[in-house]
Amino acid sequence: MEHIRIITKNHTNPAYGGALVGAHAVAARMGCTLSHRAPQVPDDTGEQSALLDRAIADRPDAIVLLPAHASAVNAAIARVNGAGIPLVLFVSEPTAGAWVGFVGSDDTRMAADLARAVLQALPSQAKVGFIDGHPGSITTPLRRRGFEEALAQYPGMELVEAVSGYYQHDTGREAASALLSRHAQLDAILSANDLMAMGALEALEAAGRRVSMGSINGTPDAIAAVRAGRLTATASFNTHRFGCLAIEMALRHLRGRQVPSRIVLAADIIDAHNAAEWDKPYEARVCPDWDQIAAAD
């Protein structure tokens, strides 16, 4: 029975918990064992590199990795390559190394679609704030680019400020508090993930203010907030599906079957019209059909 080591960026983002649920579902169906590791300090590249070295020593049959940085873990990835352990990536791709395949979404397009879903309902002269992710994260500049591309389609609207929430709840709340304290008029906030958006909602409630807000991940908490009218929309950066497909990709490769080098899933926008369809825990979500996804790619 094969053993796969999954290494993510942190233990705090519920979206990565969703990936683990999907991974375990496929492991149970296909007959393999899994172990999971992540840095204790969220997104710490030194810790993640050490976890990759520990995995090399433990000799799993494959490693599934969510890299914490575009280049800071490249040396550790090179050591994985040198050890001959197959590597599958999900969510993000670093700047160097070799891997069997990648599973993710087009972050820029997803962020642009999410932003348009929020901006289209605003006044023509709306003031908008961004909450960016971790400055070192691969997805942060991609999502910022998507937000900017969407905002450029509404020339009367203004970006008043972009702040970093580091992809975490508490720092997301602090970032939103800073935006609110510095801008008496703020019509919308675009948050690069749901975890920061949940913190931002707390800041809004504490300040007694209400703005339109969109975020990314489609976590159960965010979907519940959409249904309650507290969040305008969230994009289904469907990490549950990523986890399903990354484990199946690794196992199919180990068992001598061909796999695509990249699987890029389209992101759905979840708003008041369809949130009820998405409002279910990760454990109740269904893994996608591999053959259908692979054929589409």
Q: What percent of the chain has pLDDT over 70?
A: 100
251 shares a domain with 139: no
Which pLDDT tens digit goes with each residue over 239-285? 999 999 999 999 999 999 999 999 999 999 999 999 999 999 999 99
Q: Is the pLDDT of residue 180 over 80?
A: yes
Task: Answer whether residue 155 is part of any domain.
Answer: yes
Helix (H, G, I), strand (E, B) or coil at 221: helix
Number of domains in the chain: 2
Q: Is the pLDDT of residue 207 over 90?
A: yes
113 shares a domain with 229: yes
Cα atoms in the 13 Å half-sphere on the side-chain side of 241: 19
Task: Answer whether residue 294 is part of any domain.
Answer: no
Q: What local confidence, expressed as pLDDT, does residue 297 receive? A: 61
159 shares a domain with 97: no
117 shares a domain with 216: yes
Of the pLDDT bands very low, low, confident and very high (cuts 50, 70, 90), residue 294 is confident
Task: Answer whether residue 278 is part of any domain.
Answer: no
The CATH number of residue 38's host domain is 3.40.50.2300
Task: Answer whether residue 79 is part of any domain.
Answer: yes
What are the backbone dihedrals phi and psi of residue 250, each rounded to the nearest 5 degrees, phi first?
-60, -45
Mean pLDDT of 29-57: 98
Helix (H, G, I), strand (E, B) or coil at 118: helix
256 shares a domain with 231: no
Q: Domain residues for 94? A: 3-105+238-265
- Please report which helix (H) or strand (E) contains residue 159, including its range: strand 158-164
The DSSP letter of residue 35 is: E
Task: Answer whether residue 229 is part of any domain.
Answer: yes
243 shares a domain with 96: yes
DSSP string, 234-254: EE---HHHHHHHHHHHHHHHH
CA distance 58 to 60: 6
Task: Answer whether residue 38 is part of any domain.
Answer: yes
Which pLDDT tens digit goes with each residue over 136-169? 999 999 999 999 999 999 999 999 999 999 999 9
Which pLDDT tens digit goes with each residue over 74-93? 999 999 999 999 999 999 99
- Please report which helix (H) or strand (E) contains residue 120, including its range: none
154 shares a domain with 73: no
Calculate the average pLDDT of the chain: 97
Task: Answer whether residue 297 is part of any domain.
Answer: no
What are the backbone dihedrals phi and psi of residue 243, each rounded to the nearest 5 degrees, phi first?
-60, -45
198 shares a domain with 52: no
Task: Answer whether residue 277 is part of any domain.
Answer: no
